[in-house]
Structure 1
């Protein structure tokens, strides 16, 4: 089977977004699946996090095609003087800056569904070139966020009739920071319309949890539960070959990933406080790995 994988986040990108698709591509060849990956050229794309070590996990048999892109982040850096681009959850953004509130508004009302939509045309040209050259694919897998990537799958489905698997790692219009975008009613309507089109037209929809399945299934009366498949994020055994040495003098709880200003962590912290109150003999430690 030949699978065309389209994903924005790919090594040298780091962070949570790249892991799922990279591990798919790493292990699918052992199931007889030949993968071709189309991703953005790292010199042209915009990654919030870099992790050069992940490149070692790409199988030599996997062909990776990198394309140009057209995105507004270069202009964003020049206008704001910031070196980092905003990313999911806006953990690196200030909630009180007028300038940042303005750019969030532009992001939510001009760049729909997201600013990386400028990459789509480059990917569609690359796929058209492959098909003109006589290449065939049994299916195409689009992974998001950025959810604009799903519009590539929608276009390929309409133009070429390719079997299309839409992998949504996160909710779309219900993602936790959606209210931060201050979308107007027309922008919200368009975003939701794109979401419905993708869910209705995809042959199969992959999600990471039953709750996300429930959420997306309710987006349209045309959707059936049978097209949704819950494929939770797992782990790669090869990442855990080194011996583990948990502390013996404390109970260590580790959170990996982003913690934004708009995350509601109060209940978790309150629970930790209650645990310490009930069990003062336990040395409870919290460790946060990622952008906080």
Structure 2
């Protein structure tokens, strides 16, 4: 590595083989930053997500290098239950940033900049010390209104001690960071409203997709509606499952690819309503198999719950669907609606099983419309949301804060 090569360290709670949208996004972003001339190091805990799918590790640190990126896995508590207890989750979220903080203190002089990716908000702790207090150029990458979502979904009591303490910490992190990157303008506006983050420090860095990896190949032979990703509390998969009772298209199947806290509950609903021939639970698959899954499908569904706290959200799966020319049926409001309408790559319906069933039937019956929506969606993401393009934006922000 050349002596004048800029060096950055990225702190992330998830990194492959963790199976989450943010894990793959961080990997692709770091790989592309390396191509742009950065020496990139990632700090992450041992693979732990989805919980209960990985063996617990007791090694203090392991190191690997791939695609020009050095990854240090730092020991942290790893939940082994599918739906961990509050204390188990808290240990997972807190012990890793503490370990990352110690690592950065001892390696402080080796890097030109620090990037901490949230959620969870606790990843801001090492940046707060070495960046906010120690003066190292520091970018906070905010992908989610984690606290708002936790309150809105009933995990945290509104106005309680946990919410107030978490917001105080997040405010401190965001105000001391040199730059704050956000996925959507709604998210940036919300951070300014909540925490007084100056607009001049906020930069738009959307989610995206590797359009070379996620590309259309072949024609689907079955009438399959696919969902890929976390089977969690922010997704309205229950409405999708119930919609399959009313879908009239012959042999139509809802294929749920992924895992999460609510899978068992959805399986119970499928069994109770005798929908076993209409709803298929595939479980977790390696990320490199997902493009093939999408190319075997007819429609992609991105069902966000209808909540104000989720108005900023655009799931990574929506970009992946469109990149594979898969027409999207989405629920929710705010930025997901804006993406679908601006791209012309799908339709947005209410969070209602009957409306979802009607939308499924209409698209399953209209090949020409599916092809039109799919082509528009791919054109839109290539132009605006390819991960190489997004990484170049981050490259510019990093060089801005380090003065290069």
TM-score, structure 1 normalization = 0.70
- Residues 26 and 58 of structure 1 are in contact (CA less than 8 Å); yes or no, is this contact kept in structure 2? no
**For residues 202-217 of structure 1, what are the structure 2 equivalents within 5 Å?**
202-217=177-192
Indicate the residue corresponding to 1:68 in structure 2: 75
CA distance in 2, matches of 1:186, 1:228: 28
CA distance in 2, matches of 1:233, 1:4: 20
Indicate the residue corresponding to 1:126 in structure 2: 103
Structure 1: unaligned runs, 5 residues or longer: 52-56, 78-82, 87-102, 286-292
- Residues 48 and 84 of structure 1 are in contact (CA less than 8 Å); yes or no, is this contact kept in structure 2? yes
Aligned with 2:217 (options 234, 237, 244): 244
Structure 2: unaligned runs, 5 residues or longer: 1-5, 55-63, 240-349, 371-404
Q: Is 1:47 equivalent to 2:49 in the alignment?
A: yes
Q: Deviations over 1:30-55 (max 9, x none)?
A: 2111111122234xxx321669xxxx
CA distance in 1, matches of 2:42, 2:204: 23
Question: How many residues are aligned here?
Answer: 241
- Residues 276 and 282 of structure 1 are in contact (CA less than 8 Å); yes or no, is this contact kept in structure 2? no
CA distance in 1, matches of 2:99, 2:130: 13
Indicate the residue corresponding to 2:248 in structure 1: none
CA distance in 1, matches of 2:364, 2:188: 40
Q: Deviations over 1:204-259 (max 9, x none)?
A: 111112221122121123x2212111211111134136x51232675x55332124
Q: What is the Cα deviation at residue 281 of structure 1? A: 4.5
CA distance in 2, matches of 1:124, 1:281: 55
- Residues 31 and 68 of structure 2 are in contact (CA less than 8 Å); yes or no, is this contact kept in structure 1? no
DSSP-derived class of the 1:12 partner: coil
- Closer, same or farther in 2 for the Cα pair 1:187/1:32, shift >3 Å? same
CA distance in 2, matches of 1:262, 1:39: 24
- Closer, same or farther in 2 for the Cα pair 1:248/1:157, shift >3 Å? same
- Closer, same or farther in 2 for the Cα pair 1:275/1:207, shift >3 Å? same
Q: Is 1:156 equivalent to 2:158 in the alignment?
A: no
Q: Is 1:258 equivalent to 2:230 in the alignment?
A: yes
DSSP-derived class of the 1:244 partner: coil
Greater mean alpha carbon deviation, residues 58-67 or residues 226-235: 58-67
- Residues 153 and 234 of structure 2 are in contact (CA less than 8 Å); yes or no, is this contact kept in structure 1? no
DSSP-derived class of the 2:40 partner: strand
Indicate the residue corresponding to 1:24 in structure 2: 29
Indicate the residue corresponding to 1:93 in structure 2: none
Q: What is the Cα deviation at residue 201 of structure 1? A: 0.9
CA distance in 1, matches of 2:49, 2:362: 43
Indicate the residue corresponding to 1:6 in structure 2: 11
CA distance in 2, matches of 1:35, 1:72: 25
DSSP-derived class of the 1:219 partner: helix
- Closer, same or farther in 2 for the Cα pair 1:255/1:226, shift >3 Å? farther
Indicate the residue corresponding to 2:195 in structure 1: 220
TM-score, structure 2 normalization = 0.52
Indicate the residue corresponding to 2:358 in structure 1: 274
Greater mean alpha carbon deviation, residues 7-16 or residues 163-172: 7-16
Indicate the residue corresponding to 1:97 in structure 2: none
- Residues 142 and 153 of structure 1 are in contact (CA less than 8 Å); yes or no, is this contact kept in structure 2? yes
DSSP-derived class of the 2:187 partner: helix
- Closer, same or farther in 2 for the Cα pair 1:194/1:178, shift >3 Å? farther
Aligned with 1:165 (options 139, 151, 156): 139
- Closer, same or farther in 2 for the Cα pair 1:68/1:257, shift >3 Å? same
DSSP-derived class of the 1:174 partner: helix
